[in-house]
Amino acid sequence: MIIIKLFNEKLTKLRRELHRKAKDELGKPVLKGIRWLLLKNPENMDDTRNERQRLDEALKLNEPLAVVYYTKEELRAIWHQPNKNSAQKALDEWVKKRPHPM
């Protein structure tokens, strides 16, 4: 779970940077107040508070934030595999999809 913790810290830092840089009226309000939504497990989102909708809106407006968020969720899915073999297979597939540095 240390990897998920590191991604959560990266998400928080990136959200702060993007919030500081947001200059238009659309971007700033959307980014404000989404920290806990970024850290919350999707299955725990509250429909009555439109949490999923608010998170989706923020992710659509911020590609860097979306990339880090979805990467964290992919790693979380690997962590929750039912056994070591399926986790290893999922991790291998995940690594293959990642861009490699030149």
- Give long-range contacts, CB 8 A cutoff, 24+ apart: 63-70: 64/14, 64/18, 65/11, 65/14, 65/15, 65/18, 65/38, 68/7, 68/10, 68/11, 68/14, 69/11, 69/38
- Rounded mean pLDDT of 46-53? 95
d(CA 74, CA 79): 9
Domain boundaries, the chain: 2-97
pLDDT at residue 41 is higher than 90 = yes
Give residue 33's pLDDT band: very low, low, confident or very high (50, 70, 90): confident
Q: What is the pLDDT of residue 23?
A: 60
pLDDT 10s digits, 82-96: 999 999 999 999 999
pTM for this structure?
0.76
What values do phi and psi take at 100, rounded to 5? -100, 140
Across the chain, what does the average pLDDT equal? Answer: 87
